[in-house]
Amino acid sequence: MAAPEGSVTFNVRADTSFGDRIVLVGSGDALGNWNPCDGGVELTTTEKDYPVWKSPTIKLGKGAEYKYVRLKCDGDAVWEFDGGNRQISAEDLTQSSSIVVDDGFFGELLGDHFSYPEVLSKQVHRGSSFDRKPAENALQLVVVGDDVAAGHGAAGYKGWSAELGRLLNEQFGYGYSNVAEIGFNMQEALRRGLTELLPKPPPQVVVIAFSAELRWLANCPDWERQTICDNTIKAMAALVADAWDAGIMPVLAGFCPHESFEREQADLLRRADSEMRSLGAPVLDWLHALSPGGDKFGKWTDGLANCNLYPNTTGHQRMLASVNQSIFEPLKVKDLLMKRAAEMADVWRLCFQDGRGLEIHYCLARKEVQVSNTTQDVYELNPGWGEMQSSLAATFTEAPWTLRRGLYVRFSDDQEALFSLFLGDSGTLQSGGKVPAGSTVKLRLVDSKLQGLPAGSTKLFCDDNLQVVRTAEGRLQLFNQANCEYNVHPMWYDVRQATKAVQHGVYEDASGLPFRTAIISCHGLQSRVKVPAKSAVELCRVGDLKSIQQVAVLPLGDRCSTRMLLHKIEFDGPCYPFDLTRTTSLADVADMAATGFEDMWNPDCLYYDGDVGRIFHRKWNGLSFAHEVEYEQGEDPIGNFAPIVERMRKRYTSRAARFEWACKNADSVLFVRTGVASRAEVSDLLSRMQQRYPDLQAKLLLISDQDTGEFSGLANVTHIRESFDPDRMYEDMNYWINCAHRFRGILEGVGITARNLYWCPNNLKEAEKELEGAAENGKKESGKESGLKATKLTSEIAKFSHANLYELHQVHIEMKFEKDSPKKETPAATGFL
């Protein structure tokens, strides 16, 4: 009898570099007789399929042995492993005349491979082959999930879900439907909406089964691991809440191990598995049945997987055996759903009372929390209040559809009342605030899509973590759904653009905290606003732009100390010319600034000193650059200096343009210089800056280790005897932080705070257009010339940049000087482009 033969298509997952190829080699002519270069079968992938590589259909017989080889773009051939080969069995070929062999991941050979009839690969819901109709008046169960939920890894896709459907149908008469998809993930399910994934009419029970959702932990950068876990639990909680909202009992499928998980990933897997149990849904608990304990927790128990990611047939059987079928007992399910339906009326459930006059109620229909304080005392709602937390958790356990996870915000006009609180996965408080005496406040759930805003409110910006809203009364509300404090600032382009719709002016809350002032101008948001983790702030307009005098802090060297300190106290914005340079002479600094920095990046003045690894300047001998050569990119400053100089031109024209812009647009300027200077140098600097910027209101803060008396009597000069060492800051974080605290105190001593700090726009081309637009609007509104001046940009430069803008300004300055001075040679507008 002839050995069975069939058509076989091979799949393997492989992470490759650009230009690499994956080939299949093996025994026999069809597989190239083990020759990867001349006879191998080449696999292909697409942007949608990657990292899955697929072979064409090949005719093979029982016993064919093979491996995968990665042909690198440099010509090297990398075989997936030494010793042992993959093999096609007679059992594979008897499934169908045409099969697909899924070999998991390149270089893995944990057990038998997974194969299935090719016809199944064309079905979106491969587990739907095992759907069952319900008995009369019986419940319906639907499985929504990923590859594992579809049965991937089990022979013929007859996995845990198909067998669970069979058992529940036989025992309780359940109807069963599987709509899990290969390659599906939880974030996509959330985007499409749970109810959109379910058949009609909707079921009474849905199993949310994304057992492989944490697979990304195996290969992602270590700093992203916690975020992946947080987002997974957050999405899972949202799907559970969506199920309860639809009147469906949710059940969560447990996580699966991954053979590549090391200790940190295993710890995160264990933590996520624990947090899943607090989401208000029963759990199909099988992680500990699939993974050994101890040091190997997080990996597969031997014999339960056919690759890093998927259980094999035995693994699916182990998962089924771990399911507590009493979860699905029809009377329990119906009773639970009836209780939930009863609370969909406008009913307030008491969740906590302290016996003195503080009470917390929840309304499911409104998704609102009501906090009442009838006492004469101010209460602080905080996560450390154990009695309150226990009561909230008990309420959630009894009625998991209540106390829905998320941020709750007050929408009433009572400015003194509690503004926001955040309920966690188990209904407990994760952030709160003060509840004034004799007050009652209602707070409504705000989801990431900002459903149910009060009439007249406008969505300005919305993403998964931060939402910005303008209320009907013109207030500015910022909602932070994230686990960390959010910094909202002008460098965030989308938010800045969105806030242009807000009336210009100064916005603040009543907290008096730093970074609670929003400056809104024609450029949009022009200050940094901090929103605490899982919280919200509401800022009211307290004055127009003229009500606050904004001060630009402009570093003048001598090293990068000032930039480092501004960064640490979060006063930093776009870079200026002296931020990352060394300038040992204040006289050089004065000359650079007074002449418009025009020679700072002149290639004829720059040279590289290989002995010290710095770029120096021939005109200003005290000027050098330590951060301009990118050695990791293979740059050669001695053999090929031109690319470095060109990059410096682009960088420093931008930085010089911002310096000019800040001097002309801020209400006043504080120049900050570290390093020793003489009285004559200080006087010369102030004099030359006044000549260049006649309308400039400027002061100098000089921080150096020298006698303050040398500068006594100098107007607009403050000297602080102090020394900040940037080298030590890099080496000692505690020193850096201590210096930052001291520096903040120095700035406050000269009147600079987060409230009046000026933020220079980053994109000056865009800022010019915004000023032009504001000026035009001013003309239309007043019917006469506006006092706001805006320089008209030329249309002759096709590609505009900071460098172009700066050079235009230079030409304007030169033209102005020409009117008042003897004729002289002027540089071309294009500089040395």
pLDDT computed for residue 469 by the predictor = 95
CATH number where 59 lies: 2.60.40.10
Do residues 390 and 315 both lie within one domain? no
pLDDT in tens, 396-453: 999 999 999 999 999 888 888 999 999 998 899 999 999 999 999 999 999 877 877 8
Confidence check: pLDDT of 209 > 50: yes
From 44-48, 717-721, 819-823, the region with the lowest mean pLDDT:
819-823
Asked if residue 399 is part of any domain, the answer here is yes
In a domain, 799, yes or no: no
- Which stretch of 1-10, 529-538, 782-791 has the lowest confidence by average pLDDT? 782-791
- Same-domain check for residues 351 and 318: no
Q: In the predicted model, is pLDDT for residue 792 greater than 80?
A: no
Own/partner pairs for 418-425, CB < 8 Å, 24+ apart? 418/371, 418/381, 418/443, 419/536, 419/537, 419/538, 420/479, 420/535, 420/536, 421/369, 421/371, 421/381, 422/534, 422/535, 423/369, 423/392, 424/278, 425/233, 425/237, 425/275, 425/278, 425/279, 425/280
Residue 813 lies in a domain: no
- Convert the pLDDT of each residue in 20-30 to its tens digit: 999 999 988 89
Residues 597 and 617 in one domain: yes
DSSP string, 40-102: PEEPB--TTTTTEEEPPPEEEETT-EEEEEEE-TTS-EEES-SS--EE--HHHHTS-SEEEEE
Q: Strands 517-521 and 524-525: what pairing?
A: antiparallel
Indicate the range of 182-186, 322-326, 553-557 predicted with least confidence.
Answer: 182-186
Residue 239 is assigned to a structural domain of this protein? yes
Residue 769 lies in a domain: no
Supply the pLDDT for residue 325: 95
659 and 518 inside one domain = no
Percent of the chain with pLDDT over 70: 93
Cβ 285 vs Cβ 82: under 8 Å: no
Encode 166-194: b = buried (16+ Cβ within 10 Å), e = exposed: bbbbeebbbbbbbbbbbebbbeebbeeeb
Residues 684 and 569 in one domain: yes
For position 297, which CATH number holds?
3.40.50.1110
- E strand intervals along 285-416: 348-353, 358-363, 368-373, 379-381, 406-410
Mean pLDDT over 285-305 rounds to: 93
Q: Using pLDDT thresholds of 50, 70 and 90, give the confidence band for residue 55.
A: very high
The pLDDT value given to residue 24: 95
Looking at the structure of the chain, the number of domains it has is 5
What is the pTM assigned to this prediction? 0.79
CA atoms within 13 A on the CB side of 215: 18
579 and 660 both lie in a single domain = yes
Query: Peptide bond before 201: cis, by omega within 30 degrees of 0?
Result: yes
Per the structure, the complete domain to which residue 306 belongs is given by: 123-336
User: Averaged over 11-32, what is the pLDDT?
Assistant: 90
- Regarding whether 612 and 529 lie in a shared domain, the answer is no
Query: What pLDDT does 523 receive?
Result: 95
Give me the mean pLDDT over the 288-310 stretch: 91
Name the residue with higher pLDDT: 94 or 159: 159
> Is residue 805 over pLDDT 50?
no
* 159 and 304 assigned to the same domain: yes
Report residue 782's pLDDT band, with 50, 70 and 90 as the boundaries: low
What average pLDDT does range 803-827 have in this prediction? 36
Asked, for residue 62, whether it belongs to a domain, the answer is: yes
Residue 577's pLDDT band (cuts 50, 70, 90): very high
Examine the fold and report which residue of 274, 306, 336 is the final residue of a domain before the chain moves on.
336
Compare 795 and 148 and report the one with higher pLDDT: 148
**Reported confidence tier of residue 780, pLDDT bands at 50, 70, 90:** low
Looking at the predicted structure, is the pLDDT value of residue 197 above 70?
Answer: yes
- pLDDT range class, residue 794, cuts 50, 70, 90: very low
pLDDT > 50? residue 662: yes
| Residues 286, 287, 291, 295, CA torsion sign | negative
Asked which of 718, 749, 780 is the last residue of a domain, the reply is 749
> Does any domain span residue 758?
no
Question: Tens digit of pLDDT for each residue in 478-514?
Answer: 999 998 999 999 999 999 999 999 999 999 998 899 9
Q: Return mean pLDDT, the chain.
A: 88
Report pLDDT digits (tens) over 667-714.
Answer: 999 999 999 999 999 999 999 999 999 999 999 999 999 999 999 999
pLDDT tens readout for residues 65-124: 999 999 998 888 999 988 788 988 877 777 778 889 988 889 887 777 788 888 887 777
Under 8 Å between Cβ of 103 and 124: no
Identify whether residues 154 and 231 lie together within a single domain: yes
CATH code of the domain containing 540: 2.60.40.1180
For residue 281, CA distances in Å to 356, 433, 533, 632, 634 come to: 34, 29, 26, 51, 55
Q: Do 625 and 690 lie in a common domain?
A: yes
Same domain flag for 260 and 301: yes
Assess if residue 807 is contained within a domain. no
| Residues 731 and 683 occupy one common structural domain | yes
Indicate the residue among 120, 150, 168 that finishes a domain. 120
